[in-house]
Amino acid sequence: MKPMFRRTFALSAVSVSLCLCWGGAQAQQTLRLAFVAPPPVWGPIADRFAQEVAQRTNNAIKVQSFGGGQLGSLPQNYAGLRTGQIDMMLADSGTLALPKGGKDFNALFAPYVFRDHTHFRNFMQSPTFRAMLTPVEQEAGFKYVGYVSDRAPRQLTTANRKVLSPADMKGLKIRVPETPTILEVMKAWGASPTPIPAAELYLAMKQGLVDGQDNGFDAIAGAKYYEVQKYAMRIDYIQSSLVILMAADKWARLDPAQQKAMTEAVAETEKWASKMTWEVADKSLATLRQAGMEIIEPDLTAFRQTADEVNRSFEGKLWAVGTLQKIQAVK
């Protein structure tokens, strides 16, 4: 090989090598995952999902999390999926009621619409759920990637009154989410639902501005509400989960192998996250007892009957007629 030819060949090889390296660097894409909960609460689940995605795509896809509402409120996040401002969301399944076309998902926050958490999980894997979801995906411009974690059921705590039946709730100021179904059921139970920002709830209970609140045992222990609450009633009245959503156009740009990797990452994360959720809930219940809270297990018959009456009043208003019946028919 002549010297000049060798030099030319060597330079060409270097150029090809540089191009390949540059192309490889450019091939990695970063997807922004938004969620509104504080990072310590949902962050571990988001991080585990990111690890699973990286592993299954050989680091071709990086998921970067933005928790605590850094990328906006829930409605802004849903809008961001359509406009491209965010790529993915980690959200409570009940929030599927917020985007365009999601009206029927208001039923997921209807108290006692689910018999228990097993019923809820079965619904989330059912043709009924898929039939409700398809028009929302199309109208709101996102892809449902999958169910990524169970959530502990919502319970009730109070500062100075045991609640054994709805009659015991008369006049209690209870902080709950500003969700129509929950607000109206609380009123029907005799309570006075009081809006308080979550960040201000501990102080509000300490100062007596509200008598109690509803949350899962994990959140109750994590926020140290046991310092300002005496009784915890196991009413299991709302069941939910966390789900992963992705902007439809971003999903369409993934090749089939990458799409498969994303759904597998969700499934693998769910095994870990749901197990962790129930372990934390059990430990939290023990923490509450050790801290001096009294755990009450009331007869739920009257709670359920009243909730059913309120839920029926929303038929044809918050969701289409027959939606509750379809959900409750899931085995």
Domains of the chain: 29-151+240-282 (3.40.190.170), 155-238+287-328 (3.40.190.170)
pLDDT at 306: 97
pLDDT in tens, 111-135: 999 999 999 999 999 999 999 999 9
pLDDT at 177: 87
Q: What is d(CA 162, CA 298) in angstroms, rounded to the nearest whole number?
A: 9
Tokens found for residue 206: 């300490």
End-to-end CA distance of the chain: 76
Sort 25 into a burial class: Cβ within 10 Å, 0-12 / 13-18 / 19+: exposed
Confidence of residue 267 (pLDDT cuts 50, 70, 90): very high
Strand order in the sheet with 173-175: 192-193, 173-175, 212-215, 155-158, 231-233, 294-296
More confident residue, 272 or 68: 272
Nearest to 254 by CA among 89, 86, 27, 32: 27
Q: What angle do CA 175, 180, 181 make, to 5 degrees?
A: 90
Length of the chain in terms of residues written: 331
Q: What is d(CA 164, CA 233) in angstroms, rounded to the nearest whole number?
A: 8
pLDDT in tens, 213-256: 999 999 999 899 999 999 999 999 999 999 999 999 999 999 99
Tokens 């309570």: give the residue. 191
Q: What is d(CA 215, CA 196) in angstroms, rounded to the nearest whole number?
A: 14
Tokens 């044809």: give the residue. 316
Residue type for 291, please? A
Q: 62 — phi, psi (to 5°)?
A: -110, 125
pLDDT in tens, 289-315: 999 999 999 999 999 999 999 999 999
